[in-house]
Amino acid sequence: MKKIIAAISLCLILFSLNLSGQTRKLIIPGEVWPDTDGNHINAHGGGILYYDGIYYWFGEARLPKGETDRTKYGVGCYSSKDLLNWKNEGLSLRVTNDTSSLLQAGCIIERPKVLYNKKTGKFIMWFHHELKGQGYRAALTGVAVSDKVTGPYQYLRSLRPNAGVWPKNFPEGYKKQKVVESDLKSGTEEWRKAIKEGLFVRRDFKGGQMARDMTLFVDRDGTAYHIHSSEENMTLHFSELTDDYLDFTGKYYRVLPGESNEAPALFYAKGKYFMFTSGTTGWKPNPGRVSSADEITGPWTFIGNPCRGSVEENNTTFSSQSTFVLQVPGRKNAFIFMGDRWIPSDLANSRHIWLPVEWENDTPVIKWYPEWDLRNLK
């Protein structure tokens, strides 16, 4: 009997070790990805910061199904030494019960990204922020700061960037146009042309430009950019951040005007800047896109769909939406595409789609692997 109990206990220990993810050796896109406690990683629309030899994964910590305590919502943080086994470091930014705060429970926090600022020694988090009870109308970006990488991050403010300034690449003639939204029927050629020629930039000039899906990118010269879907999600804005990464300088560029790009994820490889984006179909996946540029500030050129799978897989980006590209530290050409396979009815359970970035001549492409080994990254 004792032997049987011992054998069962051993089995249970081995089983729980396996569940806790300790034994994870491969990236398995689309499956539950248990952290070291055995819970699916709750960090969506996220990104990774490599700091002091450790990877930190920040992402949307969605309210788990059945959980009613809304303050368990915010930005999740996980740490790892190998990109496979992740320890939950808790919420790095948490919504509050204080109803005078814009960060009150019920607001929406999406696509958080964190940078380390060498000059100030601080960690800076930016995120897409929508206000309680207002759907996606506010289109703000929020900023928070911490002395410690895992947080807690102190919420500073939320804003619409670049109020009262024109984009650097905005022709003089566009500034003076008089056409307004009510003159046009949406969806028509004239409407699209007016958007390309800055209809919404002029509309939002005074109050600041809309900021929804976002990412952060530090250029080779150390200049950081906040990259966000603006102009009713029709145009991306690349907005320069101040040296301390806590504010906007007012220098910004319109990218792919009127082309409806969301979910930007940037990287620099082979002497060029590349950007994965999606179209704008909400939680529903759509065909992936990749664009490139010689200078970060553009001009950007659309290349095509980076996916190399079946028609269905290409039309849905392998059932995912881009969020970040991780350059594996110390590896010149090793990049990982990170995306989200959203489950709108249970966002916390949305799956992580990590795939290697591969190359077709000098164009990045993504292929599906049901599981793959990080050591095979070229």
111 binds ligand GAL (CB under 6 A): yes
Verify binding: residue 232, ligand GAL, rule CB under 6 A. no
Judged by beta carbon, residue 282 or residue 304, the one nearer ligand GAL is 282
CB of 276 to ligand GAL, least distance (A): 12
Q: Is 321 in the site for ligand GAL (CB under 6 A)?
A: yes
Residue whose beta carbon is closest to ligand GAL = 282
What track of x and - describes contact with ligand GAL for positions 274 through 313 (by CB under 6 A)? ------x-xx------------------------------
Beta bridge partners of 351: 341
**Residue 251's closest CA among 175, 167, 357?**
167
CB of 287 to ligand GAL, least distance (A): 14
What does DSSP say about strands 301-304 and 289-293: parallel, antiparallel, or unpaired?
antiparallel
Total of chain residues touching ligand GAL, rule CB under 6 A: 10
Query: Measured from the CB of residue 131, what is the shortest distance to ligand GAL in angstroms?
Result: 14
Q: How far is CA 164 from CA 161, 169, 171, 209, in A?
A: 9, 15, 16, 9
Question: Would you count residue 110 as binding ligand GAL (CB under 6 A)?
Answer: yes
Tell me which residues in 242-281 interact with ligand GAL (CB under 6 A): 262-263, 280
- Our finding on whether 240 is near ligand GAL (CB under 6 A) is no
Least Cβ distance, residue 113 to ligand GAL (angstroms): 13
**Residue closer to ligand GAL (CB basis): 137 or 175:** 137
Tokens describing residue 20? 């806790």
137 lines the binding site for ligand GAL (CB under 6 A): no
SS3 of 156-225: EEEECCCCCCCCCCCCHHHHHCCCCHHHCCCCCHHHHHHHHCCHHHHHCCCCCCCCCCEEEEECCCCCEE
String marking each residue 331-360 x if it binds ligand GAL according to CB under 6 A: ------------------------------
Site string for ligand GAL, 55-84 (x = CB under 6 A): ------------------------------
- Which residues contact ligand GAL (rule: CB under 6 A)? 45, 110-111, 213, 262-263, 280, 282-283, 321
